[in-house]
Amino acid sequence: MPSILLSNFLAKNTHPIHTSLYYHGPKGYTYNEWLAGRVACWGRTFRNVVLGQTEYDIVPETDDDAVFSVGLLPKTKKPWMAFLEHYSVFSNNLYYPPLRRASVLRHAQHMVGQKNCSRIVAYTDIARDGIRKYLGKKYAGKIDTLHPVIPDKKIKKIKHDVPTVLFIADHDFYGKGGKEVLRVADMVHEKYDAHFIIKCPVPKELYEQYKNKPGFTFIQHRISDEELEELYAKSDMYIFPLYTSSFGVYLEAKRASLPIITTTHFDIPEIVLHEKNGLNVDNPGNFWQPDFYDRWSTREKFIAEIKQKWQPKMVQGFYEAVVRLIEDTKLAKKLGAAGKKEVTSGRFSINERNKVLQRYYEEMLSR
């Protein structure tokens, strides 16, 4: 039976997208795992920022037949493919000028052009197009789309008295739109008896301002998967006015049959279909547009600007969307059911993902 080494940023039990690859991949293969440690992380940052190379992981010698790398290009003698979120992974996650360096581009092209590189798959079509544009037409044939998925699970609803809005972000309060969520909540509370669950570390000054206000629950520590599912079960909608990127939480919200209110940022309109399984609000601050790297040299500078500026039109749009779903429960259930179907049997299901992944594995192992 062919063996595939999954090279990951994170352990298989810490991220549902990675878990689905390890435990729910195509049948007929055995799967092993290699995790890049802290020293490896320092090494790839040094190679990127100092040596002018693309970010990559040096995968140790393995008896596995092929390598499937999640998050970065792998350096290995085995046949390999890589699963990438967007083209910025060719540079350090917090420092972007290397993307403009010709040496970084040439190195990325060299790695993708190797005979043992089978394919690069991106999370979404717009991410795929960005990688193709960055690497050039010569490499376009190797770059395709593979949607991340999570295992389906029945989430039994928990009864509650008032409309409940859920916001989850493990980190990056400002980049994920936490400040905007609090402002939307203030506006909603002026008219409705509603509850907002904020599962995210909140900056101290904002937490002190909001912690004793009615209509809020703040959870700032890590919780178990069971506790996380309970949050989804007791909520009526999921709100996510993010400026950066994300994917897994959208799948979790869909799995829990929650209608999603989010932005038009980057690839989100591919993940959340407006008026079909959620509502999309225009976001003027797009993190992954090409001009980002001309306007901000580091991620910290981008976040600093978000902290200083309000987006009143976007906040108003999110407020109106929340009110719409509070008042139209039939629409909320319809949108939530459509999202659930995508995880159960549609484009974000294990079965549909594995049909595509099976073909990619066969292609990779034929090299």
What CATH number did the domain enclosing 172 receive? 3.40.50.2000
Verify that 144 and 259 share a domain, yes or no: no
- Residue 156 inside a domain? The answer is no
Verify that 199 and 340 share a domain, yes or no: yes
More confident residue, 135 or 245: 135
Verify that 206 and 280 share a domain, yes or no: yes
- Residue 142 inside a domain? The answer is yes
Average pLDDT of the chain is: 90
The domain of 79 spans 3-149+349-365
Verify that 29 and 124 share a domain, yes or no: yes
Average pLDDT, integer, range 113-130: 95
Verify that 49 and 193 share a domain, yes or no: no
pLDDT at 124: 94
Does the pLDDT at position 96 exceed 80? no
189, burial (CB in 10 Å: exposed 0-12, middle 13-18, buried 19+): middle
Verify that 185 and 46 share a domain, yes or no: no
Residue 291 banded pLDDT, cuts 50, 70, 90: very low
Verify that 140 and 71 share a domain, yes or no: yes
- Residue 157 inside a domain? The answer is no
The CATH number that applies at residue 54 is 3.40.50
Kindly report the backbone phi and psi dihedral angles of residue 59, in degrees, each rounded to the nearest multiple of 5, phi listed first: -80, 130
Contacts of 224 (CB under 8 A, 6+ apart): none
> In terms of DSSP H, where are the helices of the chain?
16-23, 38-49, 102-113, 125-135, 178-189, 204-210, 225-233, 248-255, 268-271, 292-295, 299-308, 312-327, 329-344, 350-365
Verify that 106 and 202 share a domain, yes or no: no
Verify that 190 and 311 share a domain, yes or no: yes
Where does residue 275 fall: left (phi above 0), alpha (psi -120 to 50 degrees), or beta otherwise?
A: left
- pTM for the full predicted model: 0.93
- Residue 154 inside a domain? The answer is no
Tell me the percentage of the chain whose pLDDT exceeds 70.
92
Average pLDDT, integer, range 319-324: 98
- Coil vs helix vs strand at 197: strand
Residue 26 banded pLDDT, cuts 50, 70, 90: very high
Verify that 130 and 189 share a domain, yes or no: no
What one-character DSSP code corresponds to residue 92? B
* Helix then strand then coil, % of the chain, to nearest 5: 45, 20, 40
pLDDT at 243: 84
Q: Considering Cα of 326, then 327, then 332, then 333, what sign does the dihedral take?
A: positive
- Coil vs helix vs strand at 269: helix
Verify that 118 and 213 share a domain, yes or no: no
Does the pLDDT at position 17 exceed 60? yes
Domains of the chain: total: 2
Other CB atoms within 10 A of residue 297 CB: 13
Tens-digit pLDDT profile for residues 238-266: 999 988 778 999 999 999 999 999 999 88
- Residue 72 · residue 44 · CB < 8 Å: yes
Verify that 198 and 141 share a domain, yes or no: no
Residue 295 banded pLDDT, cuts 50, 70, 90: low
Residue 92 banded pLDDT, cuts 50, 70, 90: low
- Residue 281 · residue 314 · CB < 8 Å: yes
